[in-house]
A and B are shown apart, each in its own frame.
Chain A
């Protein structure tokens, strides 16, 4: 952890930036949780709240960018300060997208709730728990600069992907005998798709946390490694 800056306003600006990102993460997780609860509890009113609250996250994304740009222009940060500004701005974009997925889930939830009871929605809860845990740990890895925790997110996302595939296969099978619930089942497939994307975005946040903590860019590391082994093999 860095000591205090000689120019105290710089520390204030950095604190503001961190607070904005954390508030954004908190609101995003809340939106996601409410969207899922509206689906599981068939609560249309709650889904309306999620759709309405998304604008708060949008506003925060703009504020994070403004604060970050102001720090870049006024203070010319370097080293870990620079990485903090860059990663905060990138993470805020991921959080905004996650909140958009929460809105998508809420919209699908409204439509599902207007149809007949759909017991299959319970299948989605474990996927949500996995996605939310990934998001929670991605944010912890960012705030605590916990590189090891962040690096573990990718493997955990693969588990989420496996469950996602299983659920898609199961619901596709159900669609062959929809019993008048085909529209709701299709909406549920989109909910599952959104949760899978939340997992991916949490991994992206983890990559930014690794960059913040260790200055390593681990994006597309698997592709790079396989390309390298391909070229090694061709020699």
Chain B
């Protein structure tokens, strides 16, 4: 076990900041019974999983997010769309403080609350935050370990010693990720032996194995073929009753297929945030209409 964890730490170091979000697990507890990360809880509507309030964000002197306000609904899929450099991935990384690792990168105004708690508060345990806000990346980052170990890793690092509990949770996560039937007979083969689509679903299984509240996804299907993409999308649709998904995507079709709400970003601002069905049939803002219909960007 120690050797296994050491190995993962090495892998984690090689992955830089990404590993914090992915592999530091949360204590297993029902969402409703979640303990606050600090005692400074701010009241937000019960349906709001993440509240972004008047946020400015800077890389050095460059202000890349400007007065961003968003109330991300719990147990829904929210899509962030916008041209490259508009700030959508920056905001995504702010939601589990991954930008903390970048020198000079900081929130200069506003606050971000996870279930009422300011995640940039002084007493926030960042490791714990990152376990409650999981992340899946554009390119699947499967560890060079077995399929089972990839999913079990977070539970083991968290301190779970009961093998039966681990086995049960691994199976559950693989089933939820629609991967169980494909891998149940080869759980101890390398995760790297899976296809690209399967590897991405394995990453989703790993992220949800520790039961996070929010799962962030940064272009999760951009490297996948259309069928693998649909499988991941189907997965999100199925899992959204249990988790809050926030997905950055460059595919308008994907955003319109999978999300309940869409936020359109442009030059660091949220131009429009509305129901996806409304946004793609009758957007309020001219800039949104021009972007989603392919007239600028």
Say whether A associates with B. Answer: yes
Interface residues of A (CB under 8 A from B): 2-7, 10, 76-83, 215
Number of A-B contacts (CB under 8 A): 44
Residues of chain B with a CB closer than 8 A to A5's CB: 293-295
Specify the chain B residue showing the minimal Cβ separation from A76.
B253
The answer, among B252, B253, B289, for a CB contact under 8 Å with A80, is: B289
Residue B14 CB within 8 A of the other chain: no
Q: In the complex the two chains form, is B295's CB within 8 Å of A78's CB?
A: no
Q: In the complex the two chains form, is A6's CB within 8 Å of B282's CB?
A: no
Q: Mark B276-291, 1 if CB is under 8 A from A, else 0.
A: 0000111100001110
In the complex, A10 Cα to B294 Cα: how many Å? 9
Specify the chain A residue showing the minimal Cβ separation from B256.
A78
In the complex, A82 Cα to B256 Cα: how many Å? 13
* Closest A-B pairs by Cβ, 8 of them: A215-B282, A78-B280, A79-B289, A78-B292, A81-B293, A3-B295, A6-B294, A5-B294
Q: How many chain-B residues does the 8 Å CB contact rule pick out?
A: 16
Q: In the complex the two chains form, is A4's CB within 8 Å of B293's CB?
A: no
In the complex, A175 Cα to B87 Cα: how many Å? 77
Interface residues of B (CB under 8 A from A): 252-253, 256, 280-283, 288-290, 292-297
Q: In the complex the two chains form, is A82's CB within 8 Å of B281's CB?
A: yes
Residues of chain B with a CB closer than 8 A to A4's CB: 295
Residues of chain B with a CB closer than 8 A to A78's CB: 252, 256, 280-281, 292-293
The answer, among A6, A10, A79, for a CB contact under 8 Å with B280, is: A79
Residues of chain A with a CB closer than 8 A to B295's CB: 2-6
Task: Enumerate 21 A-B pairs (CB-CB under 8 Å) in ascending A order.
Answer: A2-B289, A2-B290, A2-B295, A3-B296, A5-B293, A5-B294, A5-B295, A6-B294, A78-B256, A78-B281, A78-B293, A79-B281, A79-B288, A79-B289, A79-B292, A79-B293, A80-B282, A80-B289, A80-B293, A82-B281, A83-B281
Q: In the complex the two chains form, is B296's CB within 8 Å of A6's CB?
A: yes
- Tell me, rounded to whole Å, the shortest Cβ–Cβ distance linking B218 to chain A: 23
